[in-house]
Amino acid sequence: MEVLLKLNEMHADVLEDALNLWFRVGMGHLEEVEAALRLRLQTDRKPDFEALAGLATALKEAKPALFGIDTHAHYGVASHRTPESAKVACDIHDALRHAQAWARRPEGGITVDFDPPMHYSRQPLPEVQVIQAPAAPG
């Protein structure tokens, strides 16, 4: 089965953020959950930074129980201990990021976004095609 998903630019940006978070959590980067809550989720409430610090501590302390690793460690995405779903998320993320980088800046750039995506999972890399909106009549 293949699935075709048509996204606008904001959809693609949110999906890229979600995939990034998922593959990092799968590698044991649990602190990324707190960072995503603090930096990415914008609400009308003022963040309770003390509560977020407590969450960060709890997530760090959960690493040994969940992953069998030190509180300051994490796996690499290519590790045999990283779940396949995290590797697939990384592959999709990187393919999406690469396509968007070239669509946004066709002249290229020097950031990792412009490098061909790495391939970590047993699944084929997804095909990502950015379809530019037609220019407004002028």
Other CB atoms within 10 Å distance of the CB of residue 96: 21
Q: Are 10 and 65 in contact (CB under 8 A)?
A: no
Q: 3-state class of 125 per DSSP?
A: coil
User: In the structure encoding, which two tokens stand for residue 101, read together?
Assistant: 């980088």
pLDDT in tens, 13-56: 999 999 999 999 999 999 998 888 877 666 777 777 788 888 88
Q: Are 90 and 29 in contact (CB under 8 A)?
A: no
Instruction: Kindly report the pTM of this predicted structure.
Output: 0.86
Distance CA 123, CA 23 (A): 15
Distance CA 93, CA 71 (A): 26
pLDDT in tens, 44-94: 777 777 888 888 899 999 999 999 999 999 999 999 999 999 999 999 999
